[in-house]
């Protein structure tokens, strides 16, 4: 749609064109993202700070410097613990189904005779 460079160009060479340009564009796309987050983010956060100054802050932001101690290793340890805990939670049931007669003591809750003999 965009780029039919030459219609009589054979497929393979057009393939090479697409290969080169495609790779270049993919790289440039992610590279621009990289540049932005490497260098542009701090400015953006600064602007954000100015804009939201004094307003209500319901979404608490995690202060970067306050969390120095919380490393990925701690997170991994916690995650492992949770994972191991959750893996314990099998609900294994006995696959053998039997109908057991429930042995019940005589319950006279609606017995007329019982009611007449033992007045409450």
Partner 1 sequence: MRKLLIIFGVMSFLIFIRPVLGLNSNTNTDNTEITLSAEQVAPEHRGEGVLEGAFNGIKQFYSYTGFANATSGHIIMIIIGLIFIYLGIKFDYEPLLLIPIGTGVMLGNIPFVAGNMTGIYETGSVFNYLYFGVVKGIYPPLIFLGIGAMTDFSSLIANPKLMLLGAAAQIGVFGTFLGALYLGFNLPEAGAIGIIGGADGPTAIFLSSKLANGINILPDGTTVKNLIGPIAIAAYSYMALVPVIQPPIMRLLVSKEDRKIRMKPPRAVSQKEKMLFPIIGLLLTTFISPSALPLLGMLFFGNLLKESGRTERLAETARTKLIDIVTILLGVTVGASTQADIFLNKDSLLIFGLGAISFVIATMGGLFFAKFMNLFLKGDDRINPLIGAAGVSAVPDSARVVHTEALKSDPHNYLLMHAMAPNVSGVIGSAVAAGIILSFLA
Residue ranges binding partner 1 (CB under 8 A): 1-3, 7, 11-12, 14-16, 18-19, 21-23, 25-34, 36-38, 40-41, 44-45, 48, 58-64, 67-68, 70-73, 75-76
What's the CA gap between 75 and 81, in Å, rounded?
10
Q: Is the Cβ of residue 48 or residue 114 nearer to partner 1 in the bound state?
A: 48
What's the CA gap between 83 and 77, in Å, rounded?
10
Q: Is the Cβ of residue 59 or residue 120 nearer to partner 1 in the bound state?
A: 59
In the complex, the smallest distance separating the C-beta of residue 85 from partner 1, rounded to whole angstroms, is 18
What's the CA gap between 62 and 68, in Å, rounded?
11
3-state secondary structure 59-106: CCCCCCHHHCCCCHHHHHHHHHHHHHHHHCCCCCCCCCCCCCCCCCCC
What's the CA gap between 55 and 114, in Å, rounded?
74
In the complex, the smallest distance separating the C-beta of residue 78 from partner 1, rounded to whole angstroms, is 12
In the complex, the smallest distance separating the C-beta of residue 29 from partner 1, rounded to whole angstroms, is 4
Q: Is the Cβ of residue 45 or residue 81 nearer to partner 1 in the bound state?
A: 45
In the complex, the smallest distance separating the C-beta of residue 56 from partner 1, rounded to whole angstroms, is 13
């Amino acid at each position: 749609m965009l780029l039919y460079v030459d219609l009589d160009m054979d497929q393979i060479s057009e393939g090479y064109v697409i290969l080169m340009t495609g790779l270049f564009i993919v790289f440039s796309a992610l590279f621009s993202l990289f540049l932005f987050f490497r260098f542009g983010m701090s400015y953006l956060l600064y602007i954000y700070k100015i804009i939201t100054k004094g307003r209500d802050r319901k979404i608490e932001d995690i202060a970067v410097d306050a969390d120095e101690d919380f490393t990925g290793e701690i997170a991994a340890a916690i995650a492992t613990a949770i994972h191991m805990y959750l893996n314990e939670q099998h609900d294994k049931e006995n696959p053998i189904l039997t109908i057991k007669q429930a042995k019940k003591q005589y319950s006279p809750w609606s017995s007329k005779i019982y009611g007449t003999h033992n007045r409450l």
